[in-house]
Amino acid sequence: MDIAFAAPSLPNSGALVVGVLDQRKLTPSAAHLNKLTDGALERAIDANGFAGKRGELLEIVAPAGLNNSRILLVGMGAPAKLTVKDLRNLGGSVAAHLLRVREVKAAVLLDKLRGGKAAPERAANYALGAVLRSYRFDKYKTKEKPEKKPRLKEIKFHLEDAAAAKKAFQRLQKLADGVFLTRDLVSEPANVIFPKSFVAEARKLGKLGIKVQALGEKEMAKLGMGSLLGVGQGSAHEPQLLVMVWQGAPNAKDKQPLAFVGKGVTFDTGGISLKPAAGMEDMKWDMGGAGTVIGLMKALAGRKAKVNVVGICGLVENMPSSTAQRPGDIVTSMSGQTIEVLNTDAEGRLVLADALWYVQERFKPKLIVDLATLTGAIIISLGHENAGLFSNDDKLSDQLTAAGKEVGELVWRMPLSSDYDKLIDCDAADMKNISGGRAGGSITAAQFLQRFIKNGTPWAHLDIAGVAWSAKEKATVPKGGTGFGVQLLDSFVAKHHEK
């Protein structure tokens, strides 16, 4: 689907999309169409009890007096209150509707509205929402009938400052490219995406100016990464530590990078602590944290973000086999701390332990955000509406929470404290990888990670197990891989680290 921007005009074919404000107030474009159709818009609004509430849609098919296929009325609510999230959601809902009714082409007529964001910015975010919703992972459907394939070819936004909107959208298109990469990788099955093929995908980002490097088993063994390597030792696929570096900061004094670290378990069977068969296929997306990190790197480099960033992905496959790690094994992490592995299914934290230590040793980052589909327990706590946020830093935590609200990727802060930390103390080693009970499972996992964060490094951990994949459609997210976190972190970086 193409997005275009053009000067105000009234195309005489395809769908026309116009806004209605709260209290059924017609925008100037809607009022114009109402006149051209002899009051059809007002009659439709009356007949349907349409209130102009944000996100409400009402369609007039084959409007008399016009050659267009349809007029789609879009409730905008109060224009002064339209946030970035609202606009993206509106665009998403409009695209979903146009796809469902099998429209081919649409023109969105945008007006200057009093209050709120400027029209170009509104148009660009509206367009991004439409793009995000039109995503489809259909490469393995070889027999889909042409009449089932989406027909929507173009959405054109008509507004006075079309050039400014186009420019604002160029940046957002890069963001969509990043989200789509994340969604693609999360959607791919584990026979296609495994540690080395994930690295091969990352190498493609070289053309954007990202430096890509991967450590294999030998290099990691030399560095003493016994924790990560223990998880991968049962698999025929060699583990990889992927390092992506983007240097966009203009000033030498901003050299210290931001670090994003992702859990990349390309398939999680649970290992010898094997998971039940039902639903195990979901564990192909246990690399969702790594998927978000690579998508974010693509978005940042794509828009030439003025910031230094490193992205690290710990890539392993967790398999049961004669070479697999056993419950009770004791491993030594790169940090020197020893871990008794009491459950081989609590593997994400073992992978992150070495990835986190490595990024601190090598890059001395300004801050670290890690992302991981770490615990089923976070789904019990927060469902699918919020990711869990754990942090040792109130400022970082507040900034991430605010960025999430702005773009509609919500995070909810959870506690950390020494009382929880005690629960992973261990008789046989420095720590154990599970607490042994089910209570506070996401928190004890986060406490484990914190044992690998050096004092003084601002750190946040996002447990995205409940939000990386969606069984239901949402405004800007079709069913499947969501790309959660790419928009949030792009916004966080832009707001706090690019000036």
Residue 59 binds which one of Zn ion, Mn ion, ligand BES, none, with CB within 5 to 8 A depending on kind?
none
481 part of the interface to ligand BES, by CB under 6 A: no
111 part of the interface to ligand BES, by CB under 6 A: no
Binding region for Zn ion (CB under 5 A) out of 280-288, 375-383, 412-420, 475-483: 280-288
Q: Of residues 349, 432, 451, 474, which has the active-site annotation?
A: 349
Cα 284 from Cα 468, distance rounded (Å)? 11
Binding region for Zn ion (CB under 5 A) out of 155-163, 194-202, 283-291, 434-442: 283-291
Residue 434 binds which one of Mn ion, Zn ion, ligand BES, none, with CB within 5 to 8 A depending on kind?
ligand BES
The residue count for binding ligand BES (CB under 6 A) is: 14
348 part of the interface to ligand BES, by CB under 6 A: yes
Cα 288 from Cα 374, distance rounded (Å)? 10
Cα 153 from Cα 95, distance rounded (Å)? 11
Of positions 86, 161, 188, 286, contacts Zn ion by CB under 5 A: 286
Which helix or strand (DSSP H or E) is residue 155 part of? Answer: strand 154-158
CB of 286 to ligand BES, least distance (A): 4
Binding region for Zn ion (CB under 5 A) out of 51-59, 192-200, 231-239, 348-356: 348-356
Non-local CB neighbours of 429 within 8 Å, separated by 6+ positions: 330, 338, 339, 340
DSSP, residue by residue, 340-365? EES-TT--HHHHHHHHHHHHHHHH--
Residue nearer to ligand BES on the CB measure, 79 or 270: 270
Cα 234 from Cα 423, distance rounded (Å)? 28
Cα 324 from Cα 327, distance rounded (Å)? 10
Sign of CA dihedral 492, 393, 425, 239: positive
DSSP, residue by residue, 203-270? HGGGGGT-EEEEE-HHHHHHHT-HHHHHHHTTSSSPPEEEEEEEE--SSGGG-SPEEEEEEEEEEE--
The candidate with the shortest Cα–Cα distance to 264, out of 197, 219, 323, 210, is 197
CB of 349 to ligand BES, least distance (A): 8
Of 44-73, binders to Mn ion (CB under 5 A) are none
DSSP letter (8 states) at residue 460:
E
Residue nearer to Zn ion on the CB measure, 32 or 384: 384
Residue nearer to ligand BES on the CB measure, 4 or 379: 379
Of 330-359, binders to Mn ion (CB under 5 A) are 345, 347
- Nearest-CB residue to Zn ion? 268
Of positions 214, 312, 465, 489, contacts ligand BES by CB under 6 A: 465
Site string for ligand BES, 362-401 (x = CB under 6 A): -----------x-xxx------------------------
Cα 2 from Cα 136, distance rounded (Å)? 14
Contact of 261 with 312, CB cutoff 8 Å: yes
Q: Of residues 25, 196, 275, 366, which has the active-site annotation?
A: 275
Catalytically annotated residues: 275, 349
Interface residues with ligand BES (CB under 6 A)? 268, 286, 343, 345-348, 373, 375-377, 434, 441, 465
